[in-house]
């Protein structure tokens, strides 16, 4: 692979946006927009158009969890009720539907929630290693643009960054 990262920090969100637009327009060899990662203190959904299609699969996990939780939950509860020792209570059927639906409903939600969290963690590639290119000021108010590219084009990228008043440009091996 041999690709390396570079990170530029911007004070101004508009400058950062312009930097990305310039990167897109620069037609650098081996550069794809997917290689650009924006690190920001708040969510910027407005950037999604510019960054191209970056799909989110969390919903699939949610769906799987909820359906599994509901159906398996009902089966388990009903079969536990049909267990040898389970007795008739209060004249109700041994496997009563309304109470089981209540419990199924709860399990549906519980596993939906748990799987959503799990799916999100998977999407975040946990427990994989994080990029070391990070600056604590990102969590305050700065915008970071992380680009993964061929080492040869890194200087060119940095040049583009430099045109947009970056606070700092960081490479993978020291500054």
Residues in the chain: 175
Q: Which is nearer to other proteins, 59 or 155 (CB)?
A: 59
Phi and psi (nearest 5°) for 169? -125, 130
Which residues contact residue 135 at a Cβ distance below 8 angstroms, ignoring those fewer than 6 apart? 7, 9, 142, 144, 168, 170
Q: ∠ CA(47), CA(153), CA(42), 5° rounding?
A: 25
Nearest-approach distance from CB 22 to other proteins, in angstroms: 18
Nearest-approach distance from CB 60 to other proteins, in angstroms: 9
Q: Which is nearer to other proteins, 67 or 109 (CB)?
A: 109
Nearest-approach distance from CB 115 to other proteins, in angstroms: 8
Phi and psi (nearest 5°) for 132? -80, -15
């Amino acid at each position: 692979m041999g690709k390396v990262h570079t990170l530029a920090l911007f004070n101004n969100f508009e400058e950062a946006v312009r930097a990305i637009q310039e990167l897109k327009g620069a037609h650098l060899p081996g550069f794809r927009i997917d290689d650009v990662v924006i690190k920001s203190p708040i969510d910027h959904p407005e950037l999604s158009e510019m960054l191209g299609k970056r799909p989110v699969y969390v919903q699939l996990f949610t769906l799987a969890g909820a359906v599994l939780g509901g159906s398996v939950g009902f089966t388990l509860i009903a079969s536990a009720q049909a267990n040898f020792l389970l007795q008739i209570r209060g004249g109700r059927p041994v496997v009563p539907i309304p109470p089981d639906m209540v419990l199924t409903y709860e399990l549906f939600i519980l596993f939906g929630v748990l799987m959503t969290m799990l799916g999100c963690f998977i999407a975040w590639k946990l427990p994989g290693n994080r990029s070391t290119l990070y600056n604590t000021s990102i969590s305050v108010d700065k915008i970071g643009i992380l680009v993964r590219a061929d080492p040869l084009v890194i200087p060119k990228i940095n040049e583009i960054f430099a045109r947009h008043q970056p606070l700092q440009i960081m490479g993978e091996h020291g500054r």
